[in-house]
Amino acid sequence: MWDYTEKVKELFLNPRNAGEIENPDAVGEVGSITCGDALRLTLRLGEGERIVDAKFKTFGCASAIASSSILTELIKGKTLEEASRITNRDIAAALGGLPEEKMHCSVMGMEALEAAIASYRGVRPAAEVMEEGQLICKCFGVTDTRIRRVVRENGLRTVEQVTNYTKAGGGCSSCVMDIQDILDEELAAREAARTSQPPPPRKLTNLQKISLIQQVITDEIRPRLKGDGGDIDLVDVDGNKVHVSLRGMCTGCMAAPVTISYVQDRLREFVTPEIDVIVDEG
């Protein structure tokens, strides 16, 4: 029995935005019923390429339905450019997490969004391009290109994780050795990149850290949030724990987990990788 969060259960039993937009501006289709999961995402766009409506049709399990439903909630009100930055990790985070065995459902949501944006812009979607790679898993139609992308974007390290995120190797298992070969190459490349990185910056004093955090919030984070009608305040800094308060449209927003993930990523990038962001209510 999968350990689903309450949010997953809620959106499985009462999915939001299920259905299809008539004469949509953008359509994204990924997956295949024969492989067990399929998703059709339709979008209505307004001024400035802003997504004013989004609906989905999903064939799949509870995680697939919940992932598709939360995706539509995350992207509504965003521009295509803003929506394009949503990853499968953001989808899973907005659900309060997914069982690792079901992470492929969040990947399917991300790829459907990419396909919809590509259809609107008249370019080939990433999922279609990835299909041109070497076919590794014949059971689920997964190429080496797709495996490499998911491994890189999610930091995967084992064949089991690759199966959880792509379904590759989850059928007859004849491709397991090929998946391991791809993993070995990617892990070797990852280690080479890590060892070639410059030495870490000097340790910041507490005052320097607080000042830098405030600067990053002011220069990097706040302008983006204000663009969506939201805002953020720095409440406190306790070691590497950064307490913030969301304001404006960010307060109580369904996409708040994505916002916090973005804030944490930026602070880890510009200040220190050890930072954890905590939202204080009120």
Query: pLDDT tens across 211-229, in order?
Result: 889 888 988 888 888 877 7
The residue ranges of the chain whose pLDDT is under 50 are none
- CATH (residue range 131-195): 1.10.10.1100
Model-level pTM greater than 0.85? no
Catalytic residue among 105, 137, 175, 250, which?
A: 105
Domain limits of the chain? 6-127, 131-195, 206-279
Say which residues have a Cβ less than 8 Å from residue 35's Cβ, sequence separation at least 6: 139, 140, 141, 167
Domain range 6-127, its CATH number among 3.40.1160.10, 3.40.50.300, 3.90.1010.10, 2.40.160.10: 3.90.1010.10
Supply 264's token pair: 């944490």
Token pair 């790829």 is at which residue? 111
Q: Please name every residue paired with 54 in a beta bridge, in sequence order, or none if there are none.
A: 43
Q: Is 35 a catalytic residue?
A: yes
Confirm if 109 and 101 have CB atoms less than 8 A apart: no
Tens digits of residue pLDDT in 84-120: 989 999 999 999 999 889 999 999 999 999 999 999 9
CATH 3.30.300.130 fits 206-279, yes or no: yes
